[in-house]
């Protein structure tokens, strides 16, 4: 069975990720990563790893998070990594890309006017980028509907 690591920060990013990832558990082995231990209670029975939460204001946390992502990806050997954001998800995608994994960024439905900063960065190197708004789709940014549809 193929394995997917699903990563998101706590809050709306996590809720959106669960809406995508939980139905996938019928076909894939799912491993979850989030920024708060209480997220583990929402995926009981599945592997869960905690990662640091950070943003532009404390970007120094990116470095230890990147090395932890490398360790987790090497340990779990996923076929793909998906995220709905934010910065911690981007770090996992970068680590995954460097380790030869398929990487998928799904931008938050809250980003109505343009892709998030992390989404714009992800678009440079990930395997696939999805937006939840049709008017934001381009040749490189895919639209396949929204999570709440």
Is residue 34 one of the residues assigned to a domain? yes
Write the CATH number for 110: 3.40.50.2000
Q: Token pair for residue 35?
A: 């920024």
Strand order in the sheet with 47-50: 47-50, 29-34, 3-8, 80-85, 102-106, 128-131, 141-143
- Domain count for the chain: 1
**How confident is the model at residue 148, as a pLDDT?**
66
Is residue 33 one of the residues assigned to a domain? yes
Q: Do 55 and 65 touch, CB atoms closer than 8 A?
A: no
List the domain range (segments joined by +) for residue 137.
Answer: 3-143
Radius of gyration of the chain (CA): 14
Q: What is the pLDDT along the chain (149 residues), one digit of tens a residue?
A: 999 999 999 999 999 999 999 999 999 999 999 999 999 999 999 999 999 998 888 989 899 999 999 999 999 999 999 999 899 999 999 999 999 999 999 998 888 899 999 999 999 999 999 998 999 999 999 998 877 66
pTM for this entry: 0.94
Is residue 149 one of the residues assigned to a domain? no
């Amino acid at each position: 069975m193929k394995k997917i690591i699903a990563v998101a920060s706590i809050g709306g990013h996590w809720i959106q990720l669960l809406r995508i990832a939980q139905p996938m558990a019928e076909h894939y082995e799912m491993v979850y990563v989030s920024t708060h231990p209480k997220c583990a209670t929402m995926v009981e029975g599945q592997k869960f790893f905690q990662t640091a939460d950070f943003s532009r204001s404390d970007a120094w946390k990116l470095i230890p998070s990147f090395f932890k992502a490398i360790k987790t990806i090497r340990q779990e050997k996923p076929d793909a990594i998906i995220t709905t954001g934010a910065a911690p998800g981007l770090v996992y995608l970068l680590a995954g890309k460097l380790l030869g994994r398929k990487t998928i960024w799904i931008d938050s439905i809250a980003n109505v006017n343009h892709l998030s900063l992390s989404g714009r960065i992800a678009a440079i190197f990930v395997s696939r980028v999805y937006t939840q708004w049709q008017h934001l789709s381009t040749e490189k940014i895919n639209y396949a509907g929204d999570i709440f549809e």
